[in-house]
Amino acid sequence: MKQILMTGVGAYLPEKILTNEELSTFLETSDDWIKQRTGIISRRKAHQEELTSDLAVNAANEALKCSKVSIADIDCIILATTTPDYTFPSTATIVQQKLGANNAFAFDVQAVCAGFVYALSVANGLMSTGQCRNTLVIGAETFTKLLDWNDRSTCVLFGDGAGAVVLQAEDSENGYGIIANTLHSDGRYKDLLYVDGGVSTTGTIGYVKMRGRDVFRHAVEKLASAMDEVLELANLTSDDIDWLVPHQANIRIINAMQKKLNLPDNKVIKTVSAHANTSAASIPLALASGVESGKIKPGHLLALEAIGGGLTWGASLVRYGRPG
Ligand code: ACO
């Protein structure tokens, strides 16, 4: 049986910091309201010319450096995004070209905020059956380009960024790497969170629409059950988790999950205050922040979980790094 190791992480954030204070200069909102309801203080915003693929390439290069894998050895690129550069080709193929990853096959995964856990699980499947050995899994978004800046109930919540991981398949068995995954979706809830445009509907890009309270309720319930599932699959308990690395949508959702899993503060990575909700990029950005700050170390058991539009949701357990 192959082991799918996570041997490197990387992140990239656009330069422009957009604070709550700045938002309240043109929107009927306040730093206090946003902070109290969401935990967000600021977010990054890409320039108009800065594309999702640019963010993705920067994060991928950092992850490659961290894992010491060369681009020639990358044989698969999976990019989770809801904000592609073009309708087609996939943003993953644009990233492939920009990186010069000429020995890879590349494709996008679309599961909105759950995109990274979906991409990780797809990569795990492909790698376990030997279709590729060294995979870049990237979550990258220019989500602020989908926002209606007059809608205070949505535009304060999101930000731009990219995170990436390198996965490597090895024929050994030491309990490292991807241990368990679970994925779910339920299209009956598609109207809770969606974009009101698209190629075959309006022919426009559209804006994010959300029923925040309903999303919140589903988030806590569905994330908790997904986490129970992966722990059961792996025959582990929440006591075994070294770091919960949750999707960073709202500090109240993260805190509710922390409480359900009975984890202390020093076992949860929280980046929502500075990143806001970066959709598919949020987990790999949080991962990179955890590794960079020295909190996440090789051998640590990471619990990843996310929920997004669809609704789509899932969770993964990963023992980070490689042994020795
Ligand atoms: N500033 C000031 N007031 C605001 C703002 C704002 N930015 N946005 C909404 N309000 C007002 C509303 O108009 C409403 O006013 P009213 O009482 O006069 O009608 C009041 O605040 C309360 O609005 P609610 O929507 O009921 O506020 P709630 O406490 O539910 O908080 C929030 C809203 C933060 C969106 C919350 O529902 C939430 O976090 N939901 C989860 C959704 C989420 O995280 N989505 C991200 C994408 S999905 C995902 O990644 C999980």
Judge whether 235 counts as a catalytic residue: no
Specify the amino acid at residue 178.
I
- Percent of the residues in the chain that have a pLDDT greater than 70, as a whole number: 100
Kindly state the average pLDDT of the residues 295-320.
98
Using CA of residue 127, residue 128, residue 131, residue 134, what is the dihedral sign? Answer: positive
pLDDT of residue 172: 85
Position 1 pLDDT exceeds 90: no
Specify the amino acid at residue 140.
A
**pLDDT level of residue 23 (50, 70, 90 thresholds):** very high
Q: Which atom, in ligand 1's list, is nearest to the CA of 23?
A: 7
pLDDT of residue 249: 97
**pLDDT level of residue 248 (50, 70, 90 thresholds):** very high
Instruction: Please tell me the distance between residue 277's alpha carbon and the centre of ligand 1 in angstroms.
Output: 14
Judge whether 61 counts as a catalytic residue: no
CA distance 157 to 116: 19
Ligand 1 pocket by C-beta < 6 Å: which residues? 29, 33-34, 37-38, 113, 152-153, 156-157, 193, 210, 212-213, 215-216, 219, 247, 249-250, 277, 307-308
CATH number of the domain to which 139 belongs: 3.40.47.10
List Cα–Cα distances, 19 to 13, 157, 178, in angstroms. 15, 11, 36
Kindly state the average pLDDT of the residues 182-210.
97
- Percent of the residues in the chain that have a pLDDT greater than 90, as a whole number: 98
pLDDT of residue 77: 98
Kindly state the average pLDDT of the residues 96-122.
98
pLDDT digits (tens, 9 = 90+) for 211-224: 999 999 999 999 99
Position 265 pLDDT exceeds 90: yes
Question: CB 204: neighbour CB atoms within 10 A?
Answer: 11
Instruction: Please tell me the distance between residue 189's alpha carbon and the centre of ligand 1 in angstroms.
Output: 18
* Structural domain boundaries, residue 83: 1-324
Q: State how many domains the chain has.
A: 1
CA distance 127 to 123: 6
Kindly state the average pLDDT of the residues 110-124.
98
Of the listed 66, 76, 113, 155, which one is catalytic? 113
Instruction: Please tell me the distance between residue 107's alpha carbon and the centre of ligand 1 in angstroms.
Output: 34
The b/e string for 164-203 (b: 16+ C-beta within 10 A; e otherwise) is: bbbbbbbeeeeebbbbbbbbbbeeebeebbbbeeeeeeee
Q: Which atom, in ligand 1's list, is nearest to the CA of 37?
A: 34
Kindly state the average pLDDT of the residues 298-322.
98
pLDDT of residue 295: 98
Judge whether 250 counts as a catalytic residue: no
Position 67 pLDDT exceeds 80: yes
pLDDT of residue 245: 98
Position 50 pLDDT exceeds 80: yes
Kindly state the average pLDDT of the residues 65-87.
98
pLDDT of residue 324: 80
H helices present in the chain, as ranges:
20-23, 31-38, 52-67, 91-99, 115-128, 152-155, 212-233, 251-260, 272-275, 282-292
Of the listed 58, 124, 134, 277, which one is catalytic? 277
**pLDDT level of residue 138 (50, 70, 90 thresholds):** very high
pLDDT of residue 173: 84
**pLDDT level of residue 250 (50, 70, 90 thresholds):** very high
pLDDT digits (tens, 9 = 90+) for 309-320: 999 999 999 999
Going by alpha carbons, the residue nearest to atom 48 of ligand 1 is 308
